[in-house]
Amino acid sequence: MDQSSAPVRRLFFGRDDAETDFTHGLLRWGFQPTAAYDAALTGRKTLIIGRKGSGKSAICHRLMAGYEGTALLITPDDAAGDEIRRFELQGVTADTAKSLIWRYTFAIQAARHLSAHARPAHGWRIPRAVRALQSFLQANDETGEDRLYERLRRGVRRLQAASLALKAFGVVEATAEFNGGTEGARALRQLEVLESGVLAAFEALRCTPQHEPLLILVDQLEQVWNIDPDSHAMVTGLLLAAKHVTRCYGGAVRCCLFLRSDIYDSLNFSDGDKFRSDELRISWTQPALRDMALTRASLSLEQSLTHEELWGGVFPATVEGEATSDYLFHRVLARPRDAIQFLTACRDVADGQAHPTVQPEDIVTATKQFSDWKLQDLAREYLVNHPFLKSLFTLFENHGYIVMRPALDRRFQAVQGSFQRGYPAYAERLTTQGVIDILYAVSFLGVKRGSDVVFAGDTQVPVQRHEDEFHIHPCFRPALGSTTAMGLPPYSPDNDVDSPPTKSSARSDAAAGQQISRDFHLLTELTRSCGRILNMVDRSDLPEPAGKELSGQIERVLHAARHKLDLQSSGKSVDSTAHVTSAANYFRELRTRLTAGGVQDERVLRRLDEQANALMATVGGAVGSGGGSESSL
């Protein structure tokens, strides 16, 4: 096939962010309608919360393009964020002050919208209330196309000095009655006049029954978010203002806020409970992500693919024995950005190898690369809230992906002091339970619950103190070198060189006979030991993948011992002493690793010890036939 027409060449899953995707048209045609989109569109929910890359901006841009009324997007940049964070008013709390500057911003946006919208949408005769708004905008220099930052600067100055020009609404600002009280009280009175003016204009035009409300969208607040109290007040102020706006304009204006879940979850304010029914958390299922991948692949290949054609034509049907789409989507956190990045990585590796379609080995290569990216991205995603996250990952490097609570406790205790000294502001949360809660909340760890392992997006129930089995998310395992359940060292038999039978004298025949019988005895004992351990693993309480891993390794020991026995019976000389000694040492090593992984089932640990000791005793005592371990089955 001509490489330029190969599917891999044309395959394109899109960009990492909605803003660029939208510019390239991908979101226009490839947008996946979701419950969150629906809720925002219909106004059922006004607070759309999602993790980084979960599709907040995608919904925002889709609303901007597809909303039947007018939609305005506010995305504060650094300068605007600084203005809001610095804004304060004497006599009111920081939350209230910030809510007033947001209310002011919304009122100005609404006034500007009304001023432009009155004639085209409602006919030539402009009502008095709208003309008043236009005069207000003119008197306050708000008619130009300034940036949000400039508008905010003016608003900040005017609210602090109570210097809004309100004559257009028939108010004489200079009166003592109007100007008395604290800075906060004066700003509030001025704002209320402006808001009543805007409401009067909406009512005069009778916008509400005639068309969709004005939709104000606020996105990308994370760009100006910091851990400081002013950032906190900036967001709580926004929530309060958004709620106020929906009420105060009689349904003619609606605000929809798009917030990162780490920001929203870190808010702590008394009115927090009043937002519960406004909240919607974006969640993605694996089938929805698969559909998104299919749509994007179909768009780029300009043909309407079926899942079978994508996962069995463009991609291979299986990777390492797993159906490809299961393999891929099991290894991403359930959000579109991660899925797009993994698929793109597979595509890029295949393209680099000049493969016309993606091959299993391309996916395996991409898996490690993607895992490395995502581990770094996770630390970056939470850099503000949990700056120590990256350092915590080292606790999991080169161990198994299952971590039992006692093991985690032990590993963390060893470094707790240095963490607390390094991050004194977070010292309170730097306990074993605190660390588990954080790692669970960011979906690095899942918790074993019943027969499932659940991750934070699947449930709202936090980790309970009695829960003690945690699994690293498959996304991060390759990057940490934690690809097996317990990180057990793989068994490799000693490198005996099996030599052919030698011709021997009468005396050496006797010695050889003794050796043969010793070899047979030792190797048979080793197979029995393996059987005893396997028996115990079957009955144990080990986590299932840990049991499988351990059994798998013991099976290898058993297989190697049987192979030696076969060689021995065909007359080859085998070094049974070295072989059995190394197997016994291997059992001890397994015990140590299982203990380090926090396995508490004493029966398995004891069985490994017993069998190692018994084998060593047999090695030391077995001369000729006879002897043997006393271990019970």
Ligand X SMILES: Nc1ncnc2c1ncn2[C@@H]1O[C@H](COP(=O)(O)OP(=O)(O)OP(=O)(O)O)[C@@H](O)[C@H]1O
Q: Are 238 and 76 a contacting pair, CB within 8 Å?
A: no
Q: φ, ψ for residue 567 (rounded to 5)?
A: -60, -45
Query: In the complex, what is the shortest distance from the CB of residue 564 to ligand X, in angstroms, rounded to a whole number?
Result: 56
Q: Which of 112, 117, 331, 337 binds ligand X (CB under 6 A)?
A: 337
Tell me, what DSSP letter sits at residue 491? P
Q: Which of 10, 12, 16, 593 binds ligand X (CB under 6 A)?
A: 16
Query: In the complex, what is the shortest distance from the CB of residue 275 to Mg ion, in angstroms, rounded to a whole number?
Result: 20
403/398 Cα distance (integer angstroms): 12
Helix orientation angle between 183-205 and 128-139, rounded to the nearest 10 degrees: 140
614/583 Cα distance (integer angstroms): 12
Residue 604 interacting with ligand X (CB under 6 A): no
Q: Which helix (H) or strand (E) holds 233?
A: helix 229-248
Q: Which of 54, 57, 115, 573 binds Mg ion (CB under 5 A)?
A: 57
Residue 325 interacting with Mg ion (CB under 5 A): no
Q: Are 261 and 305 a contacting pair, CB within 8 Å?
A: no
Query: In the complex, what is the shortest distance from the CB of residue 213 to Mg ion, in angstroms, rounded to a whole number?
Result: 23
Query: In the complex, what is the shortest distance from the CB of residue 441 to ligand X, in angstroms, rounded to a whole number?
Result: 16
- Per CB under 6 A, which region of 47-55, 236-244, 347-355, 616-624 contacts ligand X? 47-55
Number of shown-chain residues binding Mg ion (CB under 5 A): 1
Q: Which does 337 bind (CB under 5 to 8 A by kind): ligand X, Mg ion, none?
A: ligand X
Q: Is 282 helix (H, G, I), strand (E, B) or coil?
A: coil
Q: Are 471 and 456 a contacting pair, CB within 8 Å?
A: no
Q: Which does 50 bind (CB under 5 to 8 A by kind): ligand X, Mg ion, none?
A: ligand X
Nearer to Mg ion, 16 or 309 (CB): 16
Residue 261 interacting with ligand X (CB under 6 A): no
Q: Which does 30 bind (CB under 5 to 8 A by kind): ligand X, Mg ion, none?
A: ligand X
- Per CB under 5 A, which region of 50-58, 137-145, 386-394, 448-456 contacts Mg ion? 50-58
Q: φ, ψ for residue 408 (rounded to 5)?
A: -65, -40
Nearer to Mg ion, 142 or 219 (CB): 219
Enumerate residues 291-310 that contact ligand X by CB under 6 A: 292
- Per CB under 6 A, which region of 26-34, 67-75, 130-138, 389-397 contacts ligand X? 26-34
- Per CB under 6 A, which region of 336-344, 433-441, 514-522, 528-536 contacts ligand X? 336-344
β partners of residue 452: 449
Residue 76 interacting with ligand X (CB under 6 A): no
599/546 Cα distance (integer angstroms): 9
Q: Which does 53 bind (CB under 5 to 8 A by kind): Mg ion, ligand X, none?
A: ligand X
Query: In the complex, what is the shortest distance from the CB of residue 334 to ligand X, in angstroms, rounded to a whole number?
Result: 12
DSSP state letters, 7-59:
HHHH-----SSHHHHHHTTHHHHH----HHHHHHHHTS-SEEEE-TTSSHHHH
* Residue 391, both tokens: 């350092």
Q: Which of 14, 184, 213, 446 binds ligand X (CB under 6 A)?
A: 14
* Residue 94, both tokens: 């920081």
Tell me, what DSSP letter sits at residue 499? B
Q: Which does 14 bind (CB under 5 to 8 A by kind): Mg ion, ligand X, none?
A: ligand X
- Alpha carbons within 13 A on the beta-carbon side of 78: 0
Nearer to ligand X, 7 or 55 (CB): 55
Query: Which residue's Cβ lies closest to ligand X?
Result: 55
Which residue in the block uniquely carries the two structure tokens 């010793």? 518
Q: Which of 8, 11, 49, 56 binds ligand X (CB under 6 A)?
A: 56
Query: In the complex, what is the shortest distance from the CB of residue 450 to ligand X, in angstroms, rounded to a whole number?
Result: 31
Q: What is the number of other CB atoms lying within 10 angstroms of the CB of residue 538?
A: 10
Enumerate residues 183-242 that contact ligand X by CB under 6 A: 222
Query: In the complex, what is the shortest distance from the CB of residue 61 to Mg ion, in angstroms, rounded to a whole number?
Result: 9
Residue 261 interacting with Mg ion (CB under 5 A): no
Q: Which does 292 bind (CB under 5 to 8 A by kind): Mg ion, ligand X, none?
A: ligand X
Residue 30's alpha-carbon distances to 243, 328, 457, 613, in angstroms, are 32, 20, 24, 64
Residue 377 interacting with ligand X (CB under 6 A): no
290/307 Cα distance (integer angstroms): 8
Nearer to Mg ion, 57 or 385 (CB): 57
Report the amino acid identity of residue 243: K
- Per CB under 5 A, which region of 32-40, 51-59, 315-323, 398-406 contacts Mg ion? 51-59
Residue 350 region by backbone torsions, left for phi larger than 0, else alpha for psi between -120 and 50, else beta: alpha
Q: Which of 46, 54, 482, 618 binds ligand X (CB under 6 A)?
A: 54
Residue 340 interacting with ligand X (CB under 6 A): yes
Q: Which helix (H) or strand (E) holds 281?
A: strand 279-281
Query: In the complex, what is the shortest distance from the CB of residue 50 to Mg ion, in angstroms, rounded to a whole number?
Result: 9
237/240 Cα distance (integer angstroms): 5
Number of shown-chain residues binding ligand X (CB under 6 A): 25
Q: In a 10 Å sphere around its CB, with 0-12 CB exposed, 13-18 middle and 19+ buried, how is residue 270 labelled?
A: exposed
Q: Which of 7, 8, 11, 30 binds ligand X (CB under 6 A)?
A: 30
β partners of residue 255: 216
Distance of CA 339 to the CA centre of its chain: 11
- Per CB under 6 A, which region of 24-32, 344-352, 382-390, 524-532 contacts ligand X? 24-32
347/324 Cα distance (integer angstroms): 13
**Which residues of this protein are in contact with ligand X, per CB under 6 A?**
14-18, 21, 27, 30-32, 34, 50, 52-58, 222, 260, 292, 336-337, 340
Q: Binding residues for Mg ion, per CB under 5 A?
A: 57
